[in-house]
DNA sequence: CTTATTGCAAACGTTTTGCACGTTT
DNA sequence: AAACGTGCAAAACGTTTGCAATAAG
């Protein structure tokens, strides 16, 4: 953690593509599901993506990167739902647009979103995490998950 | 704040209906907008509601409580958008359903949502608020707003 | 009398579904 | 061969919009 900061924006990606694919195949096998070309490419593109993707964005990327294979948007939706239910991807709800997905490769983190340009910065604060857990416990809840977004204007957009 | 807790679930509602309505009329007048029966009833029902409402729920309540007046769902959507842009209501995005609205009568607060029964408990932690602001500032963001939801299983649902 | 607001229905963007065909196991 | 997955098109869902009629200021 950087000096003087009570949070970090520095995440470690624990997983390489080979390990990820193996984990994915394992999940499929355990549920009696099949490993298809379409599912493979969806995971591959999520791995390569450097940002959160909507189903539509992912679909367009797949069509343009792999013109030789057939893919329908329904398959993208179905696969993302599957991945979400397996906690293989993390979902970000947005005010205006569609759901956005990213692989759950990184450590858990929260998001700060610029309302000007849509830029997303990820961060995690151990202090906040602990407070959230302590609050939920006091209220008798067993925590499954949480999401926190800060909405604001980033440095660049403030200059405009 | 209760002893031994680093948060509170005890909010004060600063505003009675008369004051609320006056504030609403003022907003309308300042924007050159008109005070209509439909807008009045929407605000009245939001005031009476003891939970977050979707546009559809609010529409159904209005039709059943006031069968004598005409109301269309488009008006409910338009009015909620107006109220949202004036920060008169607070919006809660949900994973599955539509947007949910509540009047911004209470102090700012966050939500913990039971995935079993949908129950929503509101809370606020001054410590978390301060940490959020300090993180955003360090990242160069000017904070406009933030939302935090914890998802879990409430005490009752854990027994089932 | 002017302007904003309404209800309606049609349009919209996102997501889901039914189905016949294809692929994986 | 059996079971699951696929693309396609249609449907579903929440939400927005164009419009002619209506109500507020």
Which pLDDT belongs to residue A144? 84
Asked if the structure places residue A136 within a domain, the reply is yes
Asked if the structure places residue A1 within a domain, the reply is no
Same domain (yes/no): A34, A60: yes
- Please check whether residue A34 touches B, CB under 8 A: no
Of A61, A77, A103, which residue constitutes the final position of a domain? A103
**Which region holds residue A81: left if phi is over 0, alpha if psi is between -120 and 50, else beta?**
alpha
Å from B27 (CA) to C16 (C1')? 40
Q: Per-residue pLDDT for B13 more than 80? A: no
pLDDT band of A2, cuts 50, 70, 90: low
Residues 65-124 of B with CB under 8 A from A: 91, 93-95, 112, 114-115, 121, 123
In whole angstroms, give the CA distance from residue A66 to residue B87.
Answer: 46
Same domain (yes/no): A95, A36: yes
> Tens digits of per-residue pLDDT, A62-119?
999 999 999 999 999 999 999 999 999 999 887 777 899 999 876 788 999 887 777 8
| 8 Å CB contact between B24 and B15 | no
In whole angstroms, give the CA distance from residue B111 to residue B44.
Answer: 23
| 8 Å CB contact between A136 and A25 | no
| 8 Å CB contact between A100 and A94 | yes
In whole angstroms, give the CA distance from residue A73 to residue A98.
Answer: 14
Asked if the structure places residue B96 within a domain, the reply is yes
Which pLDDT belongs to residue A22? 96
List protein-proximal bases of chain D (any atom < 7 A from a CB). Answer: 3-10, 13-18, 23-25
Asked if the structure places residue A58 within a domain, the reply is yes
User: How many interface pairs between A and B have CB atoms less than 8 angstroms apart?
Assistant: 125
Mutate to test the interface with B, among A122, A152, A158 (most CBs of B within 10 A): A152
Query: Could you tell me the CA-to-CA distances from A104 to A1, A17, A148 in Å, in that order?
Result: 21, 13, 16
Which pLDDT belongs to residue A115? 77
Average pLDDT over chain B, rounded to whole? 90
Q: Which of B120, B119, B101 is nearest to B110 (CA)?
A: B120
pLDDT band of A146, cuts 50, 70, 90: confident
Measured in angstroms, the CA of B102 and the nearest CA of chain A are apart by: 16
| 8 Å CB contact between A62 and A45 | yes
Same domain (yes/no): B20, B39: yes
Q: Per-residue pLDDT for A3 more than 60? A: no
Which pLDDT belongs to residue B3? 54
- In which element (H, E) is residue A89 found? strand A89-92
Domain total of chain A: 2
> Tens digits of per-residue pLDDT, A12-62?
777 889 999 999 999 999 999 999 999 999 999 999 998 899 999 999 999
Q: Per-residue pLDDT for B111 more than 80? A: yes
- In sequence order, what are the residues at sequence separation of 6 or more whose Cβ sits closer than 8 angstroms to the Cβ of residue B155? A140, A141
CB contact under 8 A, B131 and A6: yes
Of A103, A122, A139, which residue constitutes the final position of a domain? A103
Which pLDDT belongs to residue B116? 76
What residues of B are in contact with residue A115 (Cβ under 8 Å)?
144
Give the domain CATH number at B154. Answer: 3.30.1490.190
> Tens digits of per-residue pLDDT, B147-160?
898 988 899 989 87
CA angle, B98 then B14 then B142, to 5°: 60
Å from B103 (CA) to C5 (C1')? 22
Which pLDDT belongs to residue B159? 85
Q: Per-residue pLDDT for B146 more than 60? A: yes
- In sequence order, what are the residues at sequence separation of 6 or more whose Cβ sits closer than 8 angstroms to the Cβ of residue B67? none
Same domain (yes/no): B99, B117: no
Asked if the structure places residue B126 within a domain, the reply is yes
Same domain (yes/no): B51, B117: no
Same domain (yes/no): B64, B123: no
Same domain (yes/no): B28, B92: yes
Asked if the structure places residue B41 within a domain, the reply is yes
CB contact under 8 A, B146 and A150: yes
Instruction: Output the 3-class SS for chain B.
Output: CCCCCCCECCCCCCCCHHHHHHHHHHHHHHCCCCCCHHHHHHHHHHHHCCCCECHHHHHHHHHHHCCCCCCCHHHHHHHHHHHHHCCCEEEECCCCCCCEEEECCCCCCEEEEECCCCCEEEEECHHHHHHHHHHHHHCCCEEEEEEEEEEEECHHHHHC
Of A82, A103, A124, which residue constitutes the final position of a domain? A103
CB contact under 8 A, B143 and A151: yes
- Please check whether residue A135 touches B, CB under 8 A: yes
Asked if the structure places residue B1 within a domain, the reply is no
Å from A95 (CA) to C7 (C1')? 27
Q: Closest nucleotide (CA of B35 to C1')?
A: D24
Same domain (yes/no): B23, B85: yes
> Shortest CB distance from B149 goes to which of A91, A125, A147?
A147
Give the domain CATH number at B84. Answer: 1.10.10.10
Same domain (yes/no): B85, B115: no
> Nearest residue on chain A to B9, judged by CA atoms?
A139
Place of tokens 């929407």: B42
Same domain (yes/no): A87, A121: no
Question: Whole domain around residue B98: which residue ranges?
Answer: 6-103
CB contact under 8 A, B128 and A128: yes
Å from A72 (CA) to D8 (C1')? 8
Same domain (yes/no): A12, A27: yes
- Please check whether residue B6 touches A, CB under 8 A: yes
What residues of A are in contact with residue B128 (Cβ under 8 Å)?
128, 131-132
Å from A101 (CA) to C19 (C1')? 29
Same domain (yes/no): A56, A98: yes
Which pLDDT belongs to residue A38? 98
Asked if the structure places residue A44 within a domain, the reply is yes
């Amino acid at each position: 953690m950087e000096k003087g900061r009570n949070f970090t924006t520095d995440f470690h990606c624990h997983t390489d593509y080979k390990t990820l694919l193996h984990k994915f195949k394992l999940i499929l096998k355990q549920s009696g599901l099949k490993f298809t070309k379409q599912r493979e490419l969806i995971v591959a593109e999520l791995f390569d993506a450097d940002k959160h993707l909507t189903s539509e964005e992912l679909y367009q990327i797949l069509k343009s990167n792999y013109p030789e294979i057939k893919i329908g948007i329904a398959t993208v939706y179905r696969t993302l739902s599957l991945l979400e239910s397996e906690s293989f991807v993390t979902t970000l709800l947005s005010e205006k647009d569609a759901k956005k997905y990213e692989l759950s490769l990184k450590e858990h983190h929260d998001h700060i979103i610029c309302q000007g340009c849509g830029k997303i910065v990820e961060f995690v604060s151990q202090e906040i995490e602990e407070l959230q857990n302590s609050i939920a416990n006091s209220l008798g809840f067993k925590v499954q998950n949480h999401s926190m977004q800060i909405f604001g204007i980033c440095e660049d957009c403030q200059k405009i």
